Structure 1
Amino acid sequence: MIAAAVQLADEDGLATPAMRKIATALGVEAMSLYNHVSNKDDILDGMVDLVFTELELPVPGESWQDATRRHAASLRAALTRHPWATGVLQSRPAPGPGNRRHNDAVLGVFRRAGFPLVLTAHAVSVIDSYVYGFALQSTNMPIATPEEVAEVADGILRDLDAEQYPHLTEMIVDHALQPGYAYGDEFDYGLDLIINGLERALTADRDPGGG
Structure 2
Amino acid sequence: MKKRLMARSVDTRERLLNAAESLLAERGIEATSMRAITSLARVNLAAVNYHFGSKEGLIVAVYARRLGPVNKERLALLAAAEGAGAKPVLNDVLRSYVAPVMHLIHDASRGGEVFMRLLGRSLYEPGDYLGQLFRDEVEPVLNTFTAALHRCLPQLSSEELFWRMHFGGGALAYTLAQIHRLEMLSKGACDPKDVEGVISRLVDFVAAGMQTGGQQVRTKKK
Q: TM-score, normalised by structure 1?
A: 0.62
Q: Against the structure 1 CA distance between its residues 32 and 75, is the aligned structure 2 distance closer, same or farther, given a 3 Å change threshold? A: closer
Could you tell me whether the CA contact under 8 Å between 2:165 and 2:210 is conserved in 1? no
Counterpart in 2 of 1:49? 64
Other structure's SS at 2:212 match:
helix
Compared with structure 1, are the counterparts of its residues 198 and 34 closer, same or farther at alpha carbon in structure 2 (3 Å cutoff)? Answer: same
Aligned to 2:138: 99
Pair 1:117–1:5, CA change in 2 (3 A): farther
- Alpha-carbon distance in structure 1 between the residues aligned to 2:16 and 2:182: 27
Distance in 2 between residues matched to 1:135 and 1:109, nearest whole Å: 23
Counterpart Cα distance in 2 of 1:116 and 1:79 = 33
Q: Indicate the residue corresponding to 1:163 in structure 2.
A: none
How far off its partner does 1:132 sit?
1.0
Unaligned stretches of 5+ residues in structure 1: 144-148, 153-170, 206-211
- Any residues of structure 2 matched to 1:1-211 within 5 Å, and which? 3-12=14-23, 13-14=25-26, 16=29, 18-20=33-35, 23=38, 28-55=43-70, 56-57=74-75, 58-59=78-79, 61=82, 62-79=88-105, 81=112, 82-83=115-116, 84-88=118-122, 92-94=130-132, 95-113=134-152, 114=154, 115-139=156-180, 141=181, 143=183, 172=187, 176=188, 181-183=190-192, 185=197, 188-201=200-213, 204=214
% same residue: 9
Q: What do the CA deviations read for 1:157-190 (whole angstroms, capped 9, x no partner)?
A: xxxxxxxxxxxxxx75xxx46xxx5145455324
TM-score by length of 2: 0.59
Report the CA distance between 1:25 and its aligned residue. Answer: 7.3
Q: Distance in 1 between matches of 2:161 and 2:105?
A: 23
Maintained 8 Å contact 1:79/1:135: yes
| Root-mean-square deviation (Å) | 3.4
Deviation track 1:9-46 (CA, whole Å, cap 9, x = no partner) reads 45453455654565567764322322344431221122
The alpha-carbon deviation at position 65 of structure 1 amounts to 1.9
CA distance, structure 1, for counterparts of residue 45 and residue 38 of structure 2:
5
Structure 2 residues not aligned, in runs of 5+: 1-11, 83-87, 107-111, 216-222
* Aligned mates of 1:70, 1:34 — CA distance in 2: 36
Is contact 1:19–1:40 with CA below 8 Å preserved after alignment? Answer: yes
**Which AA in structure 2 matches 1:182?**
D
In structure 2, what is the Cα distance between the partners aligned to 1:4 and 1:123? Answer: 40
Instruction: Say whether the 8 Å CA contact 1:6–1:47 is kept in structure 2.
Output: yes
Q: 1:39 to 1:51 in 2, by over 3 A?
A: same
- Counterpart of 1:8 in structure 2: which amino acid? A
Question: In 2, distance between residues paired with 1:44 and 1:132?
Answer: 19
Higher relative CO (Cα under 8 Å, sequence separation at least 6) belongs to: 2
Between the aligned partners of 1:129 and 1:2, the Cα distance in structure 2 is 32
